Amino acid sequence: MATVTLTNVAKRFGAFEVVHGANIDIADGEFVVFVGPSGCGKSTLLRMIAGLEDISGGEIAIGGKVVNDVEPADRGIAMVFQSYALYPHMSVEQNLSFGLRMTGNPKADTERRVKRAAEILRISELMDRRPKKLSGGQRQRVAIGRAIVREPQVFLFDEPLSNLDAELRVQMRVEISRLHKELGATMVYVTHDQTEAMTLADRIVVLRGGHVEQIGRPLDLYDNPDNIFVAGFVGSPKMNFIKAHIVGRDAKGVVVELAGEEKTRFTQPLKVAAPEPGSKVIVGVRPEHFGSAGEGAADLTAAIDVVEHLGGTSFLYARTSHGEDVVIQRDAAKVPETSEVTVSIRKSYLFDEKGLRLR
Amino acid sequence: MRNRNATAYRFLTPYLLIFAIFWVWPIISSFLISFQATRTVPWRFAPGFNWGRLIGDPAFFNALKNTLLILVIQVPVMIALAMVMAVLLNSPLLRARGLYRFAFFAPVVVGEVAYSAVFRLMFSLDFGIVNKLLNSIGLPKVDWFSNVTPAMALIMIAVTWRWAGYNAIILLAGMQSIPEDVYEAATLDRVSKLKQFFHITLPLLKPVIVFCAVLSIIGTMQLFTEPFLITERGGPGGGTETLGLLLYRQGFRSLNFGYASAVAYTMAGLAIAITLVQLWLTREPK
């Protein structure tokens, strides 16, 4: 087991910089998920930790030892690829043992490790099959098994579930979580799926455009985002963003009025200096933070476009009189029959025009 | 449904007629000719005449021996060379990749007569650059055209020069279809580049290698241009005569079509047999 420390790690392709000085500390045995939209540099960052990409600046240390110039095989890591990268011409058993056999590992030890990995992943009955005879989930298990037999200090996962169907993805997510508990190894996991990140991670690193936007525990990111990007990225359906402006200040904080909604005024607690009255801001409200009319600081009326019934809860896709699209979460029993809904804002977040959180 | 099929076949009739007349019938007809004595007019049906001669004809066995010798030596050497070329072409270190790819492929598009003339010049006893090079490093001149062994070597060199690049391009395409992350996984598994080549690249390229081998076997069984033009009609003294050349000699010089046809069908049969053995030996385990 080992820590992973990234200090000012940068990656440039020619003049184009894709990772801008990332600083990330990963503790021993921690499960950290890099999450962000396509092209945010999360896979590049993972490949730099693996040693499959050179780093253009900064320092990567694994287990306290700087590995910038250490060969990938000597870094004590194992990686699970998005496409599984299984050897198509080898059986499952050969896939698992290939690396050990090629490096002259004692036969008995190789057999022991392969057997253990197969037992952990419950693939013992598949050992003679070739990858093309396996289902997607089974291939993924073999790919993980190949990482386990290396007995690495750090496991790296590069979007390992993105080729699986929705049901299998949930199942494998649970398996990976179980594996982390069982092995207790440090794991770094890349995904663009915020649900995977929220459910798997001890800590999440949110990336955008090669910058680390925020690092924190899943619920911290959800409850306390640093900026509008993190607020929007974490949570499903995403947070609603409604244009607003400052109208004044009172004892508790700053008074905000939603754009075009003169009646919808409320006080937002604020520790920092309040923006000038008239300043434009953005109010963020999670779908579940809309309450029944009169329950919160201010009411808002919106015309319902579409209702999605998920069983216990429903989502109302609605539009305010000012033309802002909002998603409202409701108990299925409380979905109105009318074409309009009036809700209260029970909890909200305030962002400045640049998208930085005001708190 | 039956009606619809009948309509479809009616539409296909013109094509099927042309196909039968110009493709199926010549195959059957030429095979039937091999059962006829064609040395005198009128031709007469004599099943043992050509096939019986084939079994006891020293010229046929000489041509067969030469063809198989070229096949056994030249095809493996050429495919090994093509593999080396493909690996070099696939190297990320290589610059001007397109230029090399063109250069390797160019021999295929050069006219056969032109390339044969150049080879004759290059290997000429007194003026050829090859003998001059041999001399310059202290080796004696080789009379490439008057002795059987050097002449056979020359044929093999020429065929290899002409087709190695072509095969290299096919192998390169196969190599580029192997996903990069398989090699990355092997790198993380501490598998050396050499072992990656033997344990990943070669096994995954097997279908492509078999394809190249089958094409080369068929090509070599029909080998004609090089012994005809470079070593002047299978010279010296029939030392480089191949089945293709024997076929030509019988069919076009002696106008003995029956025997030529028997030789042609023997060539085709051998090519099919060798290819089937090759496919069986390299079949995928279930």
A32-75 pLDDT, tens per residue?
Answer: 999 999 889 999 999 999 999 999 999 999 999 999 999 999 99
CA A129 to chain centre: 34
Q: What is the pLDDT of residue B286?
A: 61
pLDDT at B125 over 90: no
pLDDT band at A261 (very low <50, low <70, confident <90, very high): confident
Q: Is B190's Cβ below 8 Å from some Cβ in A?
A: yes
Q: Are A214 and A230 in contact (CB under 8 A)?
A: yes
Tokens of A255: 């008074």
* Per-domain boundaries in chain B: 57-281
Per the CB < 8 Å rule, is B188 touching A77? Answer: yes
Q: What is the mean pLDDT of residues A26-33?
A: 95
Number of Cβ within 10 Å of residue A127's Cβ equals: 17
pLDDT at A230 over 70: yes
What value does the mean pLDDT of chain B take? 90
Q: Is B199's Cβ below 8 Å from some Cβ in A?
A: yes
Per the CB < 8 Å rule, is B190 touching A50? Answer: no
Please state which of the four CATH numbers 3.30.70.980, 3.50.50.60, 3.90.1200.10, 1.10.3720.10 is assigned to the domain occupying B57-281: 1.10.3720.10
**Where do the DSSP E strands lie in A64-210?**
65-66, 77-80, 154-158, 186-191, 203-208
- Which of A50, A79, A99 is nearest residue B190 as measured by Cβ atoms? A99
pTM above 0.80, yes or no: yes
Q: What is the mean pLDDT of residues A4-28?
A: 92
Sequence-separated (6 or more) residues with CB below 8 Å from residue B220:
B67, B70, B71, B74, B75, B159
Which residue is associated with the tokens 């923006």? A275
Number of Cβ within 10 Å of residue A233's Cβ equals: 26
pLDDT at B260 over 80: yes
- Which of B188, B191, B192 is nearest residue A78 as measured by Cβ atoms? B188
Q: Is B204's Cβ below 8 Å from some Cβ in A?
A: yes
CA distances from B266 to A215, B31, B96 (A): 76, 11, 45
What value does the mean pLDDT of chain A take? 90
Residue B195, min C-alpha distance to chain A (Å): 8
Query: Which residues on chain A are in Cβ contact (under 8 Å) with B203?
Result: 89
Tell me which H or E stretch contains A26: strand A16-26
Q: What is the pLDDT of residue A175?
A: 87
Q: Are B245 and B233 in contact (CB under 8 A)?
A: yes
Q: Is B283's Cβ below 8 Å from some Cβ in A?
A: no
Distance CA A144, CA A91 (A): 15
Q: What is the pLDDT of residue B1?
A: 62
Q: What is the pLDDT of residue B285?
A: 67
Alpha helices in chain B (DSSP H): 2-19, 25-33, 47-56, 58-90, 97-109, 112-122, 129-136, 148-176, 180-188, 193-196, 202-221, 225, 243-248, 257-281
Query: Which residues on chain B are in Cβ contact (under 8 Å) with A74?
Result: 190
CA B198 to chain centre: 26
Query: Which residues on chain A are in Cβ contact (under 8 Å) with B179?
Result: 83, 85
Residue A72 three-state SS: helix
Q: Are B201 and B207 in contact (CB under 8 A)?
A: no
Which of A244-248, A334-338, B64-68 is predicted least confidently? A334-338
Pairing of strands A313-320, B44-45: unpaired
Tokens of A266: 């409320």
Tell me which H or E stretch contains A197: helix A194-200
pLDDT at B246 over 80: yes
Which residue is associated with the tokens 């004759």? B120
β-sheet bridge partners, residue A212: A207
Query: Which residues on chain B are in Cβ contact (under 8 Å) with A100?
Result: 189
ipTM rounded to 2 decimals: 0.82
